[in-house]
Structure 1
Amino acid sequence: MKAVIQQEPTGCGIAASAALAGVTYDEARAVASSLGIQAADQTLWSETHHVRCLLDAMGIAVSPVEQPFESWDALPDRALLSIKWRREAGRQFWHWVVFVRDEQGARVLDSKKALVNNTRRDFGRMRPKWSIAVLDQ
């Protein structure tokens, strides 16, 4: 699995979904658009509903509940993570990333365009708030 770079400043949920589905950002954005989901919609990164709908439309099953982050070792082999979690005007916001553990080891696929390397292993710098397990299919 490879990181997909977000093409819009607020497109992290679309990019994370694209990485999990193994498609390009533009392909995931087209599916999102057909569902009425736009990157500029704040609920894409302040609620889980839109990303869940997008993943479902792309055939990716996820857990129906968010699990509080306990440790990197406790995460399932594939999960969506909320990092950079914050509260603004009473509403929670975060940046979506994908956690993967496979034969290449554990890593986070971060879609942020400004990063030098979008495959991250600097776990001590990231502060996940919770995760959503990606279910095996």
Structure 2
Amino acid sequence: MISPIIQEETTGCGIASVANVVGKSYAEMKALANSMGIYASDTSLWSDTQYVRHMLSRVGVEATENEILFESWGGLPDLALLAIKHHQEEGRDFWHWVVFKRVDGRDLVLDSASYLASNVRTDFNEMEPKWYIGLKTKP
């Protein structure tokens, strides 16, 4: 049974997504992020990939160097951060971070949004990812 971490702040999807990748609580990941100068209230957290990349690196997760255009669910690596709900405001890109995992051959998405009935998602046609960052956890 997978128990996704839920974001405790409206804008905390990046922090919660990294917590979901490494199995830390939201509070633990938020404390680490804050110690790095990363705050959920900073719009750059969901409009610039460098913040989550720094957090991932700090907790020992390797990330692909570039964002990769999403083509299909089957084409994703076994672990990835996905950018969904992509939109622009005043010419600036924004998105919602979620975690894609392939567990025992089953694809699922951990979505930290607090308003969802289930944070383990398989409604793939509804999410419309724009791109992803492939991830590898270190042993």
TM > 0.5 between the two? yes
1:121 is matched with 122
The letter of the residue matching 1:72 is: W
For the 8 Å contact 2:15–2:26, the answer to whether it is kept is yes
Q: What SS is found at the alignment partner of 1:87?
A: strand
The letter of the residue matching 1:69 is: F
TM-score (norm 2): 0.96
2:25 is matched with 24
Q: What SS is found at the alignment partner of 1:13?
A: helix
The letter of the residue matching 2:82 is: L
1:63-74 matches, within 5 Å, as: 63-74=64-75
For the 8 Å contact 2:60–2:137, the answer to whether it is kept is no
Runs of at least 4 residues of structure 1 off by over 4 A?
none
2:93 is matched with 92
Instruction: Give the Cα–Cα distance (whole angstroms) in 1 for the partners of residues 3 and 54 of structure 2.
Output: 21
The letter of the residue matching 2:35 is: S
1:78 is matched with 79
| 1:53 maps to 2:89 | no
Instruction: Give the Cα–Cα distance (whole angstroms) in 1 for the partners of residues 48 and 137 of structure 2.
Output: 23
The letter of the residue matching 1:66 is: E
The alpha carbon displacement at 1:67 in A equals 0.3
The answer for unaligned runs of 5 or more in structure 1 is: none
CA-atom RMSD, angstroms?
Answer: 1.0
Instruction: Give the Cα–Cα distance (whole angstroms) in 2 for the partners of residues 51 and 136 of structure 1.
Output: 14
Instruction: Give the Cα–Cα distance (whole angstroms) in 2 for the partners of residues 108 and 2 of structure 1.
Output: 12
Instruction: Give the Cα–Cα distance (whole angstroms) in 2 for the partners of residues 84 and 103 of structure 1.
Output: 27
| 1:105 maps to 2:127 | no
1:124-135 matches, within 5 Å, as: 124-135=125-136
TM-score (norm 1): 0.97
The letter of the residue matching 2:9 is: E
Per-residue CA shift, 1:67-115, capped at 9, x if unaligned?
A: 0000000000000000000011010000000000021610000000010
